[in-house]
């Protein structure tokens, strides 16, 4: 199963204006976004009674997969 995620090629299009990742072009990109949203939502719900811990966890979970987004964007990240 893991070999499916090691596929060569981009998962995301580059943004037409600005800096960063655009919409997914492959199912791996859509899956990765869904996993990212689920991870942030799960952390927020699990740490609901602890606002400081929840804030820190959500920020870290939001930033942690950015290297994967950058590596899997066609043309990389640059200002357009």
Owner of token pair 């859509």 = 30
CA-CA-CA-CA torsion sign (5, 70, 29, 61):
positive
pLDDT at 1: 57
Q: Using one digit for the tens of pLDDT, what is the confidence trace for 14-32?
A: 888 888 888 999 999 999 9
Please, which contacts does 59-66 make with residues 24 or more away whose CB atoms are closer than 8 Å? 61/36, 65/32, 65/36
Tell me the three state secondary structure of residue 18.
Answer: coil
pLDDT at 17: 87
Q: Using one digit for the tens of pLDDT, what is the confidence trace for 6-15?
A: 667 889 998 8
Stated pTM of the model: 0.81
Distance CA 76, CA 4 (A): 21
Straight-line distance from the first to the last Cα atom of the chain, in angstroms, rounded to the nearest whole number: 36
The model's confidence at residue 2, banded by pLDDT at 50, 70 and 90, is low
């Amino acid at each position: 199963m893991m070999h499916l995620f090691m596929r060569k090629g981009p998962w995301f299009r580059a943004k037409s204006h600005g800096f960063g990742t655009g919409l997914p072009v492959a199912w791996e990109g859509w899956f990765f976004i869904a996993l990212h949203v689920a991870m942030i939502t799960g952390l927020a719900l699990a740490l609901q009674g602890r606002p400081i811990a929840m804030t820190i966890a959500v920020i870290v979970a939001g930033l942690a997969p950015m290297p994967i987004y950058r590596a899997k964007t066609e043309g990389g990240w640059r200002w357009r």
